[in-house]
A and B are shown apart, each in its own frame.
Chain A
Amino acid sequence: MIELRNIHKSYGVGRFATTIIDDCSFVLERNKFNVIIGPSGVGKSTLIRLIAGFEKPTRGEILIDGRQVTGPDHNRLVVFQESALFPWMTTQENIHYGPSARGERRGDIAAKADLLLEKVGLRAAARRYPAQLSGGMQRRAELARALINNPEIMILDEPFRGLDAMTRKLMLDYYARLSEDSPRTNLFVTTDIDEAIFLADRLFVMTYRPMKVRAVIDVDLPRPRSLNTVFDDDHANALKMEALSLLHEEAMKAFTSGSKAAADFIEAYRKRIATA
């Protein structure tokens, strides 16, 4: 169970300080699929780096089962937005890296790895280098590399963003099935509302800058869910609309403040009046 108590994170000093996250507190329950959604460039990746232990918060604390987070740990593994496979290792060596770095016996590493390779359907690509894999394959290899360490908490930072829409749908289905048969706590960051509603048990909508929790939506859709049926019933669409209207407001703020704040908003407003 991850608990964040009014986390504050800012970069720079004095006049050049920028607050990225300001008194953000929430709780992620164990074995639940938690999704964080918010406009881009708002600090979601910073939050991930804080939880994973790569950076320390300026104020506030992050407790995992009561213990303070001090540094990275193989129970909290991150899958980044761009591929972080080691380019000079073959797919198999990449997957073997975690357990072998922790000194596990070579025998059962190989066994676990073969099982996972089979599961992610990369048996044929075991010998190939990451540069020779397609986007979808790289993502599956990276998931396998994380899952072999059997982490308690899987953190994914917009993992399917670089893929084209169709591969993304296949990967979504795929990851949902993968996390159903071995439940663990998931922290999934995305900007895509469909991904969020499809995967989430609990959806955190974040504000624009500085980032804090704007709303928490309980996505109580039945499991297992499939991508093409999930949006048929009205309840799912209602949840989507609720999140979407919040998000649209935050996106507008991001959009307006991304372009010289009020001045640009006035420009857009005057144009509306002119054409109405």
Chain B
Amino acid sequence: MNSEQILPVSHRDLAARRGASPWRMLARFRRYRRACMSFAIFLGIWQLGTTGKSWLGHPIPILCQAPSPGAVLAAWGQLVLEPAYWQSWYLSFTRVALGFLAAASVGIPFGLMIAISPLFRGMIFPVFELLRPIPPLAWVPASIIFWPTQELSIDFVIFLGAFYTIVINVVGGAANIDARLIQAARSMGGSRWNIFRRLVLPGVIPSICVGLETGIGITWEVVVAAEMISGGGAGGSGGASGGLGFFIWNSYIGGSYPDIVVGMISIGIAGYLSSAAMRFAASKATPWLRER
């Protein structure tokens, strides 16, 4: 007898009449309709505000400076054709990837060492906690001095951005592994290395994934600012070679405002894609968390 009950005849039409499953469809459709409506309103306000001078006679204080959605779309149309646009995508992505992979490959073992050896934790963790409150972007000038090339200095700042988050999550994850599991394993004869390999590591994986997902979000915020500051704002010594952040700053200096908005939206999409990729990897790495 499978778990799905075979309905006696009198109830089958009863269930159909109530339209159980279509009811859920209706709710989903209503949500889409409302979402489209809110987008429409948002675009409407944006369009009206930015082209206010010609329509309403007097300009709206803040919005009138901003480019109108139409202008942004047009700019994006042209930009898509230019290779320079895609090159800045590529550069930003490589920088994020480099900095993020470095942060992960250094951060995860570092976090595990802190979680496992009390000596290491006693000595290194206080220094780590001392440096953590300093925002990563405060390191940009210092890293420009320290690292030989512009590229490396940006990568270092990106590394820092993700490193703190990953370490904190790994340490947190290792801390709340249930002590009883380790006791059970020890009493069944598990050696320290065996317990680390088969208990601590798998136990920490979920929080590592959380750390990676938030980490990559932060790297996108850092790369934009780092490219802006080192490429544009901080005296532009030699100018960093491209990247979305630099592209935005450049369009600002060049005065083509619609390109700024295009740059912003592109970074938004890039950030979303990388977080989605991380979430997908996380669900693959933790099959036991998926319910039956």
Contact = CB atoms under 8 A, between A and B. Distances in A.
Interface string A56-79: 000000000000000111101110
A86 B181 contact: yes
Given A78-B187, A86-B199, A101-B185, 18 more contacts: A52-B187, A72-B183, A77-B188, A78-B183, A80-B184, A84-B178, A84-B183, A86-B181, A86-B185, A88-B202, A88-B288, A89-B288, A97-B190, A97-B198, A98-B188, A102-B189, A130-B288, A131-B291
B286 to A, nearest CB: 8
Chain B interface residue count: which class?
20 to 34
A87 B288 contact: yes
Contact of B203 (A52, A72, A88): A88
Contacts of A71: 186
Interface residues of A, number: 28
B14 interface: no
A53 interface: yes
A74 B191 CA distance: 12
A84 B188 contact: no
Contacts of A86: 181, 185, 198-199, 202
A73 B188 CA distance: 7
Interface of A: 52-54, 71-74, 76-78, 80, 82, 84, 86-89, 97-98, 101-102, 128-132, 145, 149
B189 A101 contact: yes
B289 interface: yes
Nearest to A146: B188
Contact of A74 (B180, B188, B205): B188
A131 B199 CA distance: 16
B287 interface: yes
Contact of A72 (B187, B205, B291): B187
Contact of B186 (A72, A80, A87): A72
Given A129-B287, A131-B289, A88 B184 contact: no
Interface of B: 178, 180-181, 183-191, 194, 198-199, 202-203, 205, 286-289, 291-292
A203 B3 CA distance: 42
Contacts of B198: 86, 89, 97, 101
26 contacts: A53-B187, A71-B186, A72-B186, A73-B187, A77-B188, A78-B183, A78-B184, A78-B187, A80-B180, A80-B184, A82-B180, A84-B178, A84-B181, A84-B184, A97-B185, A97-B198, A98-B188, A98-B189, A101-B190, A101-B191, A101-B198, A102-B188, A129-B287, A129-B288, A130-B288, A149-B188
Given A84-B178, A101-B194, A132 B292 contact: yes
A132 B292 CA distance: 5
A72 B179 CA distance: 14
Contacts of B188: 74, 77, 97-98, 101-102, 145, 149
Nearest to B190: A101
Nearest to B289: A131
A81 to B, nearest CB: 9
Contacts of B203: 88
Nearest to A128: B292
Contacts of B183: 52, 54, 72, 78, 84
A101 B186 CA distance: 9
Contacts of A72: 183, 186-187
A14 to B, nearest CB: 25
A149 B190 CA distance: 12
A130 B191 CA distance: 23
B181 A77 contact: no
B189 A74 contact: yes
User: Which of B180, B202, B286, B288 has the most CB atoms of chain A within a 10 A radius of its CB?
Assistant: B288
Nearest to B186: A72
A77 B288 contact: no
B39 to A, nearest CB: 39
